[in-house]
């Protein structure tokens, strides 16, 4: 049956290889089952229910990718998007988490529509590479700020806006230890380095009496408090158009970039640069975004950590299916997730931020009309504490600078239209 479904022989792999690859991928991305509930809890969402929703949404996304596309790509609620959800839409704009879920659901539906139609490719090709890289880097800087805040390293200040916290405190010390450990393990290519770092800090804190231990295994918490709780009516208000499109664009760029990178690394690309079974991949990742919102979590997206499983020999959807099963088994470690303090997950956020910030190296720095809008985009996200505003500032500045420099031909119609819409939004709505 596995041969018929996943074409193992045709892809030069075996059941054992695919299962090992699935375990490898899961260990590299399992940190999300601890980090995602912690972030969304800051949006007043119930921790236990979000833990369950995270595992269920990840499993569903992996199964969609496995059976619709037959690719070894795993999915789960995305980093960066969950931070925008909690600290941008709910914390910054003051909307309820139910409305934010509605925005995620609508963006997922739009994502599915443009994935089925040729619109997705048109939009992706329209956005200049400099802005794509800046958006990724800006989200990284945004995550870094959140990580430093959760660790107590950065705190608010009435005069300078921000300053450093009490650097000799236990949370700061443990965050530093956790970050150093994660970097060292990842540098040495130790499987599951991120989750090891989180667990080591947690264990040390429990042994030192700084954190309570709630246990390891138990029945999964009820998903009912967040299941189908999205407020679609509230999400359709005019003021939330930018939010919906922010979720859409970030997910669009993230998924597309991840797909291209993984297809290239796994040798799935054809010589002409096209990807086989692309339609199944596009439907899988876009449907997973909408389903994830219905289940009760922020946007579900493809994970670049799938590269670890591909490097371990994963070549088919059986790898993704194995990851999905492991996420379902992870449902029974909810007490462990509840025992992990915020300063233990902060190093993981900072590590992801470091990976995302490297997009700045691919900006065309010798062309100021490309570099300046990219810098504005990347800096606006942490300084306005909003991914949506960062994207908007980027489009507006790109179109404006190109026009002022007399290089209006560089402006793709889609970029020009979006820039005008963003300007109208700020003038009319604020």
pLDDT tens for 101-117 read: 998 999 888 888 887 88
Contact in structure between 275 and 259 (CB atoms under 8 Å) = yes
pLDDT in tens, 129-165: 788 788 778 877 887 888 898 888 998 888 888 888 8
Q: Which H or E element spans position 155?
A: strand 154-157
* pLDDT grade for 396, boundaries at 50, 70 and 90: very high
Contact in structure between 216 and 333 (CB atoms under 8 Å) = yes
Quote the CA–CA distance of 136 and 175 in Å, as a whole number. 24
Query: pLDDT exceeding 90 applies to what percent of the chain?
Result: 25
pTM: 0.73
The two structure tokens encoding residue 187: 């540098």
Nearest Cα neighbor of 232 from 136, 114, 108 is: 108
pLDDT value of residue 239: 65
Distances (CA, A) of 6 to 10, 67, 160, 262, 318: 9, 8, 57, 18, 6
The two structure tokens encoding residue 395: 């489009």
Residue 367 burial (CB count, 10 A): 13
pLDDT value of residue 338: 73
Please list the residues that pair with 164 across neighbouring strands: 154
Quote the CA–CA distance of 65 and 53 in Å, as a whole number. 18
| Radius of gyration of the chain from its Cα atoms, rounded to whole angstroms | 21
Task: Specify the range with the lowest mean pLDDT, choosing from 16-20, 226-230, 301-305, 323-327.
Answer: 301-305
Helices (H), 90-240: 97-116, 119-126, 129-151, 170-187, 193-207, 232-235
Return the higher-pLDDT residue of 30 and 170.
Answer: 170
Nearest Cα neighbor of 306 from 62, 10, 6, 37 is: 62
């Amino acid at each position: 049956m596995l041969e018929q479904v996943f074409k193992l022989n045709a892809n030069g792999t075996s059941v054992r290889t695919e299962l090992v690859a699935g375990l490898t991928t899961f260990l590299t991305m399992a940190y999300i089952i601890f980090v995602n509930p912690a972030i969304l809890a800051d949006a007043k969402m119930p921790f236990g229910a979000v833990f369950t929703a995270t595992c269920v949404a990840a499993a569903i996304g992996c199964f969609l990718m496995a059976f619709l596309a037959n690719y070894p790509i795993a999915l789960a609620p995305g980093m960066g998007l969950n931070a925008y959800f909690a600290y941008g839409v709910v914390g910054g704009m003051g909307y309820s988490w139910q409305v934010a879920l509605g925005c995620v659901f609508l963006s997922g539906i739009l994502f599915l529509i443009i994935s089925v139609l040729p619109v997705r490719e048109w939009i992706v090709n329209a956005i200049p590479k400099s802005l794509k890289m800046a958006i990724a880097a800006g989200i990284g800087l945004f995550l870094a700020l959140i990580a430093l805040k959760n660790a107590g390293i950065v705190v608010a200040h009435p005069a300078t806006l921000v300053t450093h916290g009490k650097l000799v405190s236990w949370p700061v010390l443990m965050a530093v230890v956790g970050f150093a450990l994660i970097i060292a393990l990842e540098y040495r290519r130790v499987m599951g380095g991120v989750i090891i770092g989180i667990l080591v800090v947690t264990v040390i804190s429990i042994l030192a009496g700084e954190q309570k231990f709630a246990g390891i295994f138990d029945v999964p918490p009820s998903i009912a408090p967040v299941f189908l709780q999205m407020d679609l009516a509230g999400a359709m208000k005019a003021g939330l158009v930018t939010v919906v499109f922010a979720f859409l664009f970030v997910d669009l760029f993230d998924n597309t970039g991840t797909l291209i990178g993984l297809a290239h690394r796994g040798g799935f690309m054809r010589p002409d640069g096209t990807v086989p079974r692309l339609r199944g991949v596009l439907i899988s990742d876009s449907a997973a975004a909408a389903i994830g919102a219905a289940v009760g979590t922020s946007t579900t997206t493809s994970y670049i950590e799938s590269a670890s499983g591909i490097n371990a020999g994963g070549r088919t959807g059986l790898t993704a299916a194995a990851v999905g099963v492991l996420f379902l088994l992870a449902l029974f470690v909810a007490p462990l997730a509840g025992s992990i303090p915020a300063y233990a997950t902060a190093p993981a956020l900072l590590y992801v931020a470091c990976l995302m910030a490297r997009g700045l190296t691919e900006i065309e720095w010798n062309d100021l009309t490309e570099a300046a809008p990219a810098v504005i985009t990347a800096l606006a996200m942490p300084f306005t504490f909003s991914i949506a505003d960062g994207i908007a500032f980027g489009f507006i500045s790109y179109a404006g600078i190109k026009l002022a420099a007399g290089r209006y031909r560089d402006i793709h119609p889609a970029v020009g239209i979006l820039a005008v819409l963003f300007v109208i939004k700020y003038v009319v709505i604020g």
